[in-house]
Amino acid sequence: MSTHRYTLTIACPDRAGIIAAVTGFIAQHGGFIVEASYHTDQESQQFFMRQEIRADSLPFPASEFANHFSPLAQAFGMRWKLADSALKKRLVLLVSKQDHCLNDLLHRWRSGELQVDIPCVISNHEDLRGFVEWHGIPYHYVPMQDKAAGFARIAELFEAAHGDSMVLARYMQILPPELCTRYAGRILNIHHSFLPSFIGAKPYHQAYQRGVKLIGATCHYVSDELDAGPIIEQDTLRIDHGDTVDDLVRYGRDIEKAVLARGLRYHVEDRVLVCGNKTIVFR
């Protein structure tokens, strides 16, 4: 069976007949659906759909899909996107000094588990240059003494790399609101806390001082409000009174790697649809 697929994602006001109309359209053109997911958000009455279609079952390429599908989409007021599995997403990774998330992502990329292109890595420190360049990936040092100039340079590098998404793999800088707005839904962050608890700096220290029994990590989209963007994936680990701050940091690194990898995979596979400040994740 062909692994070349189109992924159709749709969000629109909920009403009768949406599923029948979309699946009927695909069937009318001989399309073969290999995976389908649906959800209605009861509060907003918004309907969400994800369909994977065998590319070789349709009589037209992805570039012509809109010509055929647009009349139906307009009739239902759909916001929709078609992704082609033959075109790998281009991820620009941003890091500071800690390398555990970067190391994990690059391992998954080299092994073929993470099917993406990584055109470059950007950092506000030089520490990880050798490690990144060993992987054959360009490394850009962007100092942040002048933050406005630094973030302007990051946007410039992202555009030059034709990036689809930015991944903040423990990048310890707060992005300016204009950058968050410009790339809304395209910047992912791993925060070393089970949000909404312990936002900002040193969350493990905050957790230790509070005496919590669970610590966690959160992969979320970046918004102009610190650590408050739509959450994609989370996980936790139980701790107890005998654990030190250093223990929490050590445990947390493992959770951060796993949560970022899962959240990023959902994003790359177009399994995440944003609903207000929430997400619908079709696993």
Residue positions annotated with a catalytic role: 227
Element (H, E) at 203: helix 203-210
Element (H, E) at 269: none
Residue 11's Cβ-side half-sphere holds a number of Cα atoms within 13 Å equal to 16
Going by DSSP bridges, is the β-strand pair 165-168/89-95 parallel, antiparallel, or unpaired?
parallel
Number of Cβ within 10 Å of residue 236's Cβ equals 15
Beta-carbon contacts of 283 under 8 Å, excluding residues fewer than 6 positions away, are: 266, 271
Tokens of 83: 């992704």
Strand order in the sheet with 33-41: 33-41, 46-54, 5-13, 79-84
Compute CA 24 distance to the chain's CA centroid, rounded to the nearest angstrom.
30
Nearest Cα neighbor of 87 from 153, 150, 27, 6 is 6
176: phi then psi, degrees, rounded to nearest 5: -70, 155
Exposure string (b/e) for 26-52, b if CB count within 10 Å is 16 or more?
Answer: beeeebbeeebbebebeeeebbbbbbb
- Cα distances from 178 to residues 14, 147, 152, 223, 260, in angstroms, run 32, 13, 10, 10, 24
